[in-house]
Amino acid sequence: MTGYKEALNWYFHWELSQIAGTELDRQLQEIFNPAISEADREILLRTLTEQHESSAIFPEYLFQVGAWYRKHGMPQKALKYWNLAIERHAAARDLHHMNTLRWIYGCILWQIGNNLEACLNWRYAVEVWWENLEFFQERQRTTDLEIENARLATLRCIEREEWHQKRSLLPGAHQAQHQNFIADYQRKAHHWQTKIGELKRTKHGLANKLEWYQQRLQEMEVALLCKPEEAYLLVKDMANLGQPQVCQGFIHQRDVLEALVHDRKVAQAVKEVERMLEAAAAWTPVEKAGSNLAGGWVFYVLKNEGWEKLLKKAVFLYPPDALGRVWARWLLGAIQWQIPEQIEDAATNWEIAIQDLDHLEKTAEWQNQGQLVNYYSDKITLMRAALGAQRDQLPVTQQAGI
């Protein structure tokens, strides 16, 4: 699971809280007593913040204050403190806590309706944790090499000890000297054997962390792919894959729409969608399709019933072998999953999207386009997992129907 409560537990997965059960914990509980006014609370927090700003526990303090504010029903103030905590963890290169907070931050953005910004935060967390996996994998390779070197050093000590044992048995051998060497090599062998034990424990710990992060990343990527906004962002990503380019006018108009949606300027956003669709008549087929897709996404966010018509038109306008059609259909299905009477259509659209992307993967493989093959393969795996996850959330009777 990747919800807010689960992500809170991620924060303390590898180490316990340094604040829980302390005087500072008691002070926070008193400050967030519902009987205290918000003005007094801010004064008390300002004083407490100044007291702990230079301490090692300050990033966790910021995290705890944010958690209290969210529990108190004030998510905007929680974001303020979590943003500061993210900055502190980032400065310390503490990727675990930084990324956990980035995911939590996204959960609150989603809660208050900033869905696109939430997905961008989640995307960033996924990206950095993938880099973190590479760090653990490199540490594992280094540890394996250190274990092998320690094993060879141990073997060398044993061989030298045996050599001195044999030499000490010869007539005229200098017994005391050989015994000193034997004792010295025994100590060295013991040192290296102890070192091997420590390295193996380190390797086991790295393996546990690697497995935990791999599981979280799988959950995070699947959860992200179930969001309509992620499908919208995947359409925007196509420019980085060498897909058909769109003109600057189209990009500017899309940016304007995103800003209006963020600011909840409903009437202006609807007018801009209409302007974009009018301008699309002079654009390329891909830009026409993209205009309908962007308009459909905007209408969905603003709860305008015209979203479905525009998204279906976008699916139709994208060429049959275009990646844009895959993500347009995925976006349509992601919204339909939220509507009980359209769940069957949602599953169908996602199944078709997977089939279409599978076809694109085979085409890219035949054309020896390795980068695209890897991209398509990774996405197909996640899409199938997302489809399974959505089906698993349905009652058994509905699962049987789709």
DSSP secondary structure, 16-82, as one string: --SSTTSHHHHHHHHHT-TTS-HHHHHHHHHHHHHHHTTSTTHHHHHHHHHHHHHHTT-HHHHHHHH
The answer to whether 296 and 311 have CB atoms below 8 angstroms apart is yes
- Topology of domain 228-401, CATH: 1.25.40
The one-letter amino acid at 264: R
**Alpha-carbon distance 176 to 298, whole Å?**
88
CATH number, span 130-225: 1.10.287
* Residue pLDDT, tens place only, 122-162: 999 999 999 888 888 999 999 999 999 999 999 999 999 99
CA-based radius of gyration for the chain: 29
Provide CATH 1.25.40.10 ranges for the chain.
228-401
Binning pLDDT at 50, 70 and 90, where does residue 198 land? very high
Within 8 A by CB and 6+ apart from 152, the residues are none
- CA-closest candidate to residue 329, choices 362, 288, 293, 358: 293
pLDDT score at 297 = 96
CATH 1.10.287 in the chain, residue ranges: 130-225
Tell me the pLDDT band of 1, cut-offs 50, 70 and 90. Answer: low
Tell me which of 379 and 279 has the higher pLDDT: 379
Whole-prediction pTM: 0.87
pLDDT tens digit sequence for 222-276: 999 999 999 999 999 998 887 777 888 888 999 999 999 999 999 999 999 999 9
Both structure tokens of 362: 């085979």
What is the C-alpha separation between 97 and 94, in angstroms, rounded?
6
CA angle 132, 199, 56 (to 5 degrees): 55
Q: Which pLDDT score, from 0 to 100, does residue 400 have? A: 46
